[in-house]
Amino acid sequence: MAGMHKPPLPTSFTRRDWGRAALAMALAPWSLSAQQALGAPDDAKRAVRWQNDPFALGVASGQPRADSVVLWTRLLVQEADAALNAQPLAVQCEVFADEALRQRVGQWTVMTDAQRGMSVHVEAKGLQPLRHYWYRFTCGSATSPVGRTRTTPVAPDKAALLRMALASCQHFEQGAFTAHRDIAQQDLDLVLFVGDYIYESSNPRYLVRAHQGGVPKTLEEYRARHAQYKGDADLRACHAAHPWVMTWDDHEVVNDYANDRDQNYTDPQVFLRRRAAAYQAYFEHMPLRLGPDAANPANMRIHDRMAWGQLADIWTLDNRQYRSYHACPDPLKGGGRVVMGCNELADTQRTLLGMDQERWLTQGLNTSQAAWKVVAQGTQMSSTGLATPMGRSAFTDGWDGYPMARERFLQNIVDAQLRDVLVLGGDVHMNVAAQLRVQPNDEKSPIVASELVTTSITSRGMSETLAAQIRSNNPDIAHLRPDERGYTLIQITPGGVQSAFKTTANPAQSGSVFATQAQFAVKRGVAGVVKN
Ligand code: FE
Ligand code: CA
For the stretch 368-397, pLDDT in tens is 999 999 999 999 999 999 999 999 999 999
User: For residue 4, is it within any domain?
Assistant: no
What is the CATH classification number for the domain harbouring 43?
2.60.40.380
**Mean pLDDT for the stretch of residues 168-180:** 98
**Mean pLDDT for the stretch of residues 473-488:** 98
**Mean pLDDT for the stretch of residues 37-64:** 78
Q: How far away, in angstroms, is 319 Cα from ligand 2 center? A: 10
Paired sense of beta strands 447-453 and 421-425, if any: parallel
Q: How far away, in angstroms, is 60 Cα from ligand 1 center? A: 22
Owning domain of residue 421 = 162-531
**pLDDT value at residue 449:** 98
Measured in residues, the chain has a length of 532
Share of the chain above pLDDT 70, in %: 91
For residue range 89-102, list pLDDT tens digits in order: 999 999 999 999 99
For residue range 216-229, list pLDDT tens digits in order: 999 999 999 999 99
Same-domain pairing of 99 and 39: yes
User: For residue 10, is it within any domain?
Assistant: no
Q: How far away, in angstroms, is 195 Cα from ligand 2 center? A: 7
Q: How far away, in angstroms, is 225 Cα from ligand 1 center? A: 16
**Mean pLDDT for the stretch of residues 492-517:** 97
Q: How much is the mean pLDDT over the chain?
A: 92
Same-domain pairing of 166 and 87: no
Same-domain pairing of 61 and 129: yes
Nearest bound ligand to the CA of residue 429: 1
Q: Kindly list the protein residues that place their beta carbon closer than 5 angstroms to ligand 1, a single-atom ion.
A: 169, 196, 459
Please report, as a single letter, which amino acid is at residue 519: Q
**pLDDT value at residue 289:** 87
From 201, 296, 180, select the one nearest 244 (Cα to Cα).
180
| Other beta carbons within 10 Å of 400 | 25
**pLDDT value at residue 155:** 77
Q: Is residue 272 within 8 Å of residue 298, measured between CB atoms? A: yes
**pLDDT value at residue 294:** 65
Paired sense of beta strands 312-316 and 530-531, if any: unpaired
Same-domain pairing of 79 and 198: no
Same-domain pairing of 378 and 527: yes
Q: CA–CA separation, 123 vs 297, rounded Å?
A: 21
Non-local CB neighbours of 188 within 8 Å, separated by 6+ positions? 163, 164, 165, 241, 242
Indicate the pLDDT class of residue 514, thresholds 50, 70 and 90: very high
**pLDDT value at residue 9:** 34
Of the residues 123, 150, 177, the one at which a domain ends = 150
User: For residue 6, is it within any domain?
Assistant: no
Nearest bound ligand to the CA of residue 320: 2
For residue range 178-206, list pLDDT tens digits in order: 999 999 999 999 999 999 999 999 999 99
Share of the chain above pLDDT 90, in %: 87
**pLDDT value at residue 2:** 36
Structural domains counted in the chain:
2
Same-domain pairing of 270 and 388: yes
Q: Is residue 405 within 8 Å of residue 350, measured between CB atoms? A: yes
What is the CATH classification number for the domain harbouring 340?
3.60.21.70
**Mean pLDDT for the stretch of residues 497-510:** 97
Which SS3 state, helix, strand or coil, does residue 360 take?
Answer: helix
Q: Does pLDDT of 329 surpass 70?
A: yes
**Mean pLDDT for the stretch of residues 282-287:** 96
User: For residue 156, is it within any domain?
Assistant: no
Nearest bound ligand to the CA of residue 458: 1
Same-domain pairing of 441 and 508: yes
Q: How far away, in angstroms, is 507 Cα from ligand 1 center? A: 15
Same-domain pairing of 128 and 222: no
Same-domain pairing of 172 and 218: yes
Q: Does pLDDT of 18 surpass 50?
A: no
**pLDDT value at residue 431:** 98
Same-domain pairing of 375 and 298: yes
User: Among the listed ranges 31-40, 248-257, 518-527, which one has the minimum average pLDDT value?
Assistant: 31-40
Q: In what order do the strands lie in the sheet with 338-340?
A: 338-340, 391-395, 387-388
For residue range 72-91, list pLDDT tens digits in order: 999 999 999 999 999 999 99
Indicate the pLDDT class of residue 288, thresholds 50, 70 and 90: very high
User: For residue 5, is it within any domain?
Assistant: no
**pLDDT value at residue 298:** 78
**pLDDT value at residue 27:** 43
User: For residue 1, is it within any domain?
Assistant: no
Same-domain pairing of 292 and 435: yes
Indicate the pLDDT class of residue 157, thresholds 50, 70 and 90: confident
Q: Does pLDDT of 304 surpass 70?
A: yes
Q: How far away, in angstroms, is 427 Cα from ligand 1 center? A: 4
Which SS3 state, helix, strand or coil, does residue 301 take?
Answer: coil
Q: How far away, in angstroms, is 251 Cα from ligand 1 center? A: 7
Q: CA–CA separation, 269 vs 446, rounded Å?
A: 44
How many helices (H) does the chain have, and how many strands (E)?
Answer: 10, 25
Indicate the pLDDT class of residue 12, thresholds 50, 70 and 90: very low
Q: How far away, in angstroms, is 117 Cα from ligand 1 center? A: 26
Q: Does pLDDT of 256 surpass 90?
A: yes
**pLDDT value at residue 11:** 32
